[in-house]
A and B are shown apart, each in its own frame.
Chain A
């Protein structure tokens, strides 16, 4: 008797997986071979480099430096972020230029950064933000992972 029960349950299990197989295969075929976009995609995974997930607005990503209207960095070299950083990975050098203290060098070693966001919280000038939306910065050397935030070019 128990054997029969097992037998029917195994058939049921096969039907469940078989349904997944056929339904998902159908949607894969029309989505990826015939290139017809349907709402149901037949898979729950994201095909990462081609498709990207939407990043929530408060998600902590790569750091960026804010600049004034004149184009100078907002950072005044107060060293608060350097002090608070748990990973000890911020390096700031500031100089007095025309009576104002302005950072001349601002380097974050992202290799060590824990993405805790303390530096953003603590900054009195709102100079650093972590809202660039960049997640995929990889490199094969430590040197490339030292971000120079004062560098305004594309990086």
Chain B
């Protein structure tokens, strides 16, 4: 098949997946927060008298956003004001192109990678892209020409720039362990076993890096407990002057960023599409090619290669959803940090810990 056409199809499918996930992420956030606080959450949006626990709520929200007045204050910088939400959304949604959703599948003669592009610098690419989205935030805050939104944009910048350091430093430990920066190879490496029975998932090899990464990454998504850029109680945030669908785009970007974060965490730390002990195309000692479960105690369970692929794709989705719900749990558990506490946590705790992690990893690698 034509390479360009293939990429185009993949992009469309992934974009649809992302939009549906992001729409339902808004519902999930409302439901999770409600359930944590002993409430029910949105369950009133009805179509033909069927509410089914609010599954139509996201569409009601989206329609509301679309039909609100799109007001652009006269004192703003018109072009930048309109352009800024698009920048953040574009760059945070673009991260998805490098994420491997499953093992390459064979359809007919064609081997199709379940990944839009598979560059050898994917790990660096995703962090470069996700940190580009800060431009949209600072431009949105700045072009609003309002003190408070400017302050929000500034806060976002300082927060994200300082947490970027910890984020990348925590990744270095992973880079030392993994053989490549290519995400598909990272996942392949995580599918192998340590001492024959422990899957080499990132969280098991680099637990400290995982903790640092998750804290820094939550700070990157600008949600509570690190929601200083949009602190609703004091400065309202960088989108103060936005209304209607433009605000909706910023709000959706929040969820898209969280989804991207759960995708990245799943890929880097939870073995991507790997199910422990499930192999596809394993060469056995007697020369046959085997796909299915091979348990460390020697039992084998053969599954056809198509089912292996489907199981792996489902496993990836389930892992992503679990990580996403965990991120929502974090968001609805902790109160907001003060700005000095935020900076202290970033520069005085996370960065030294990340450096310590690098040193320890280096020593262990040198010994083993």
Contact = CB atoms under 8 A, between A and B. Distances in A.
Contacts of A44: 38-39
Interface residues of B, number: 17
A13 B334 CA distance: 8
A18 interface: yes
A108 B40 CA distance: 38
Nearest to A44: B38
B39 A45 contact: yes
Nearest to B328: A21
Interface in A82-115: none
Contacts of B37: 20
B35 interface: yes
A94 to B, nearest CB: 47
Contacts of A10: 333-334
A43 B39 CA distance: 5
Contacts of A28: 35, 40
Contact of A42 (B32, B38, B43, B330): B38
Contacts of A43: 34-35, 38-40
A32 interface: yes
A14 interface: yes
B40 A17 contact: no
Contact of B330 (A3, A14, A32, A33): A14
Nearest to A18: B329
B332 interface: yes
Identify the interface centre among B32, B35, B349: most chain A CB within 10 Å of its CB: B35
Interface string B329-345: 11011100000000000
Given A28-B40, A43-B40, A47-B40, A14 B35 contact: no
Given A24-B38, A25-B35, A45-B40, A3 B349 contact: yes
B40 A20 contact: no
A45 B38 CA distance: 8
Interface residues of A, number: 19
Contacts of B325: 21
A47 B35 CA distance: 14
B71 interface: no
Given A10-B334, A32-B53, A17 B36 contact: yes
A143 B329 CA distance: 49
A20 B349 contact: no
A18 to B, nearest CB: 6
Contact of B329 (A21, A42, A45): A21
B340 to A, nearest CB: 15
Given A32-B53, A43-B40, A20 B35 contact: yes
Contacts of B43: 47
Given A28-B40, A32-B53, A21 B330 contact: no
Interface in A1-54: 3, 10, 13-14, 16-18, 20-21, 24-25, 28, 32-33, 42-45, 47
Contacts of A47: 40, 43
Given A3-B349, A32-B53, A17 B39 contact: no
Interface of A: 3, 10, 13-14, 16-18, 20-21, 24-25, 28, 32-33, 42-45, 47
15 contacts: A3-B349, A14-B333, A20-B37, A20-B38, A21-B32, A21-B36, A24-B35, A24-B36, A25-B35, A43-B34, A43-B38, A44-B38, A44-B39, A45-B38, A47-B40
Given A20-B38, A43-B34, 19 more contacts: A3-B349, A10-B334, A13-B333, A14-B330, A17-B36, A17-B329, A17-B333, A20-B35, A20-B37, A21-B32, A21-B36, A21-B325, A21-B329, A24-B35, A28-B40, A32-B53, A33-B53, A44-B38, A44-B39
